[in-house]
Chains A and B, each alone.
Chain A
Amino acid sequence: MATEIKTVKSDGLEEFEANRDLKLHNPEDQNLTTLNLGPTHPATHGIFQNILQMDGEKIVSAVSTIGYIHRAYEKITENRPFYQITPLTDRMNYCSSPINNMGYHMTVEKLLGITVPKRAQYIRVIMMELARISDHLICNSILGVDTGAFTGFLYVFQEREKIYDIYEEVCGARLTTNMGRIGGMERDLSPKAIHMIEEFLKDFPKVWAEFETMFNRNRIFIDRTEGVGAITAERALNYGFTGPNLRAAGVDYDVRVMNPYSSYEDFEFDIPVGTNGDTYDRFMVRNEEVWQSLRIIEQALKNLPEGSYHADAPHYYLPPKQEVYRNMEALIYHFKIVMGEIDAPVGEVYHSVEGGNGELGFYLISDGGRTPYRLHFRRPCFIYYQAYPEMVVGTSLSDAIVILSSMNVIAGELDA
């Protein structure tokens, strides 16, 4: 083996020596300060550690350490039947769980060759766009907190609560939703759920407009964010950026448009792009995406097709519970599905959805067994967070916090 695993010494200094990037930038004659930012720092919104080397206020180099909440999801998925993997995907990007759930469901449906009815696809679009709103809402309002504005955060959190109430009405859970099933939704949108979504569409724009008024032209906010943590489009692409972070740099790559899934091609919406790729642009792109999501939900709700809310795939889709008590076939399928005794066909698929923070991809290899042979998650956070050291070098500590929060890094997704 060319490289041995480096052992961590109990002595803090030697551990520090093992870190090559820091050593490179640590000449004897400069009086640099080493600062440990995280892993449990209140301003990092999650468990990230960054060892910063500072020359006074200025960051000279940074090294990120991740893996603090690694839960071996890829290993677990190789030992679980397909339907038991959905709850794991909730816990990746927990700010927008439905997108993860449905992305995974669509991947398995692609493997199984199931076509989901239009109505189910539209319901999925509605739920995914609500999830995107709640994701962007959290990210942007917390960016406000990090620049010193607490009001906006508390104000829009009430709206997130309403989104969670809608989740609760649709699937019964709020944060880790486990929404839908392989083959569609577990139940139809109830009249109450439709009413709640309509109410949300009526009330939320006012709140979001007020939020934008508070920030978009705010002198203090612009001073703190404009030009901070800028990344060029070339660098961003080289680093594998996707989602709002890439679009802020001026590249209009959106999975919903480039490779439409779940009937996104039926809807009219715009892709906002920024120009500088700085913190302010990322904030503005997310703000605008919220408006676009509202547009999509409005269209989907207006044109919600009639029909079934799930595909006719009895081998994979759980029968209604009352049928299980009355109907022999339903009982058999119920038993087989719950016991994980359904074999999937041999195959290899990649499916990606536009997650809250970028292209969320699922690479699934099935060897014909009851569990995936290999399921790889393309986690957007994991891929773009490695640009963080490059983005913070030359800025100050307070800017580093703002950059981290504007990148929308979710610890659960980062570490999977």
Chain B
Amino acid sequence: MELTNENVLGKIIEQFGIDNIWDAVNPDGIMTFQTNRETIIPLIQYLYDDKELQVRFLTTMAGIHYPEQKDKELCMMYQLHSLRHNFRLRIKVFFPINDPVLPTLTNIYATANWMEREAYDFYGIVFSGHPNLIRILNVEDMEYHPMLKQYPLEDQTREDKIDTFFGR
């Protein structure tokens, strides 16, 4: 079967229902859709196990922060790749910043370990069930998650490095 965005999406919706898979778009040739926290792990497991799709490579994971979206401030992006069919897809899960808990993916992909630690380190996303969820790139006694949009790039009170064009 030739995998196209449409028939893969149809297959996924057939399996998980239209209530759990929504907002399918195609921004750059890679199918992108949203799902919820309950479905994400069964979905990725299904993609992994399915004989036809064989989506068995986790390319990357990235956290994104949208401070204006009420109750959908944080987003976790999972990008998967079926090396068998050269088919990529991107799954997004939005959730409130007050409850930044996601299930861990480490039981399916060993590589999710550090990716989840990175998301925890920079966005404060907590992955329940993760074997060793500690900071990875920043110092361990840091008290905030620096990639959240409310934190400026540099200390705003510094006066020795004022840049009037780009702002600090």
Contacts and interface: CB of A to CB of B under 8 A. Distances in A.
Interface of A: 1-3, 5-8, 20-21, 66-67, 70, 72, 74-76, 78-81, 110, 235, 237-240, 251, 253, 258-259, 339-340, 347-350, 352, 359, 361, 363, 365, 373-374, 376, 378, 382-384, 386-387, 415-416
A334 B86 CA distance: 41
B62 interface: yes
Given A67-B137, A386-B113, A240 B28 contact: no
B133 A347 contact: no
When A and B form their complex, which 3 residue pairs have the shortest distance between CB atoms, in order from nearest? A240-B111, A67-B137, A376-B62
Nearest to A71: B137
B69 interface: no
B60 interface: yes
A74 B63 CA distance: 11
A194 to B, nearest CB: 35
Given A79-B153, A81-B166, A239-B110, A350 B140 contact: no
Given A8-B141, A110-B28, A376-B62, A3 B133 contact: yes
| Most chain A CB inside 10 Å of its own CB: which residue of B59, B101, B118 | B59
Nearest to A341: B165
Given A75-B147, A79-B153, 11 more contacts: A5-B134, A5-B141, A66-B137, A70-B137, A74-B122, A238-B110, A348-B32, A349-B27, A350-B28, A374-B62, A416-B137
B64 A374 contact: yes
Contact of B57 (A78, A240, A349, A384): A240
Interface of B: 27-28, 30, 32, 56-60, 62, 64, 77, 79, 83, 86, 88, 90, 100-101, 109-111, 113-115, 118, 120, 122, 126, 128, 130-143, 146-147, 153, 165-167
Contact of A253 (B28, B83, B135, B141): B83
B131 to A, nearest CB: 8
Contact of A6 (B101, B109, B111, B140): B140
Contacts of B90: 350
Given A2-B101, A5-B140, A365-B64, A75 B27 contact: no
A386 B136 CA distance: 11
Nearest to A347: B27
Contacts of A350: 28, 30, 79, 88, 90
Contacts of A239: 110-111
B1 to A, nearest CB: 19
Contacts of A363: 60, 62, 77, 79
A266 to B, nearest CB: 19
Contacts of B109: 238, 240
Contacts of B111: 238-240, 383-384, 386
Contacts of B27: 347-349
A376 B147 CA distance: 11
A349 to B, nearest CB: 4
Given A67-B137, A110-B28, A239-B111, A21 B128 contact: no
B77 to A, nearest CB: 7
Contacts of A349: 27-28
Contacts of A1: 100, 126
Contact of B58 (A66, A78, A240, A374): A240
23 contacts: A2-B126, A5-B143, A7-B141, A67-B138, A74-B122, A74-B147, A79-B153, A79-B166, A237-B56, A237-B83, A239-B110, A240-B59, A253-B83, A339-B165, A340-B166, A348-B32, A359-B59, A363-B60, A363-B79, A382-B114, A383-B60, A383-B111, A416-B137
A376 B126 CA distance: 19
